[in-house]
Amino acid sequence: MLAGSGVAGAAGDASRFSDEPGPYLGDDELPKLTPPIVELGGKFLGPGNIPHGVLLPGGAVWQPQFWVYGTFRSALQSFDNDLGTGRSELVSRLDLFGNLQLSGSERVLIGIRPLNDGAQFTGWQYDPDRQDPFEDHTNADITTLFFEGDFGELFPALDPTDRHDLDIGFSVGRQQITFQDGFLINDRLDAIGLTRNNLRFPSMDWLNNLRVTVLYAWDEIDRDDNAPDDGARLYALFTQWDTVFGNQFSTTVDLDLALVDGSQGRGDLIAGGISAVQRLGLVNTTFRFLFSNDIGSDGTGLASSDDGQLFFTEWSITPYHTHNLLYANAFYGQDNFSSAARDPLAGGPLGRTGITFAARGIGAFPAPLGNRTDDAWGVALGYQMFWNRNRTQLIVETGRRGQHTVSDNDASAISFRLQQAVGRRVLLQFGGFLGAADTGPDQQGLRAELVVKL
């Protein structure tokens, strides 16, 4: 293995890889693996010979391996505002997975979250009206269970020369589904999906690759209000286009559409989005447009299903002589765009804007400026710094949000998040914010979190 020397180029640019090859690294010099907590049948990404495995009737060869891994999080956090309705809490979350790897393309994944039930977490909650601070939300519910594979790899004997279009990926079961970076869908669904990748057309030389996915979900669907909709069904078509125009410009375009057949009183919804991700010179850019149309409640504007449009953009650049990141993100919402599906821990669709808008995924700690669309506009400007061999990271961000249908209702906030790696599995995180509204209450919050990679 050749390793880059990490020495800056002739111009002294620390963010540029050297043109000179590094020395050969022997096995003793390679970084040591950090194994999962359980390894059966073979090491995760470990060296050595591949076992012969088991030959299946369809011609596939499986080499079963089982790994258990996960993430434990424990957060001490407190927030307050001028109304005195804040809260302090010490809560925990455990995401634990068992991965049965059958081959390079087939696996079964099972997962549990034993310390939280939806948005309710096991731990201590302190507020002025609470008598017993401890809440127990332990459970043994299965939150993830699916099988995924590739039809052509499962039955290679049907196409031994690999000339036919049998390489169709699929997954079935309870699984995390995320499209349009979580704006359109960000939820764990009982679903089946089929994907055809690497589609190319000789007459379209500008198209490098087309991926098409169809999805059907029949259960575990949470609507835009982060609440479950028992009996809802979701149908979706997702496409991704990798394009290149000459030698100067290339972009990845996602064009997605979803239909939700909601239960009585929750509304039906059609929602979609188009996005383009590319580099413009030295600047990384994303442009995104999403829409939703309530088609089942006579335009009454349900919390789970409403009309709206959302424009969103991201810009970032790495300043010269650094590994840091300067970014600016902005959105403009018309009416109330509704996602097709949102997990109880995902918050609203605008969390992607920055840490000033994002849900934390643990406890009741709020997003300083909120992440719902609601005729809103907003902007976030941040700087992400790395040092100590990238084991220390600091983000400082400021944001502002307003509503173009309500005057004098703007709010601003400044946030920070400091992360420090400890050893090979532990991450310490500290964060906080100060928020000020033009007419509403000011608010502030502080938090500390321990993250352990199992």
pLDDT digits (tens, 9 = 90+) for 74-105: 999 999 987 777 889 999 999 999 999 999 89
What CA–CA distance (Å, rounded) separates 288 from 315? 12
Looking at per-residue pLDDT, the higher value among 202 and 431 belongs to 431
Q: What is the mean predicted confidence (pLDDT) over 434-448?
A: 89
Of residues 58 and 190, the one with the higher pLDDT is: 190
- What residues have CB less than 8 Å from 161, skipping those under 6 apart? none
Decide if 259 contacts 293 (C-beta within 8 A). no
Give the C-alpha separation, 257 to 291, whole Å: 10
What span, in angstroms and rounded, lies between the C-alpha atoms of 134 and 389? 40
- DSSP, collapsed to helix, strand or coil, labels residue 157 as helix
**399 has a pLDDT exceeding 70:** yes
CB-CB neighbours of 247 under 10 Å: 6
CB atoms inside a 10 Å sphere around CB 84: 9
pLDDT band at 206; cut points 50, 70, 90:
confident
What's the pLDDT score for residue 420? 97
pLDDT at residue 177, rounded to an integer:
96
Say yes or no to pLDDT of 182 above 60. Answer: yes
pLDDT at 291: 97
Helices (H) and strands (E) in the chain, counts: 1, 26
Q: Rounded to an integer, what distance in angstroms lies between the CA atom of residue 297 and that of residue 306?
A: 9
Average pLDDT, the chain: 89
Name the pTM for this structure: 0.88
Q: With 60 as the cut, is the pLDDT of residue 11 above it?
A: no
Tell me what pLDDT residue 5 has.
39
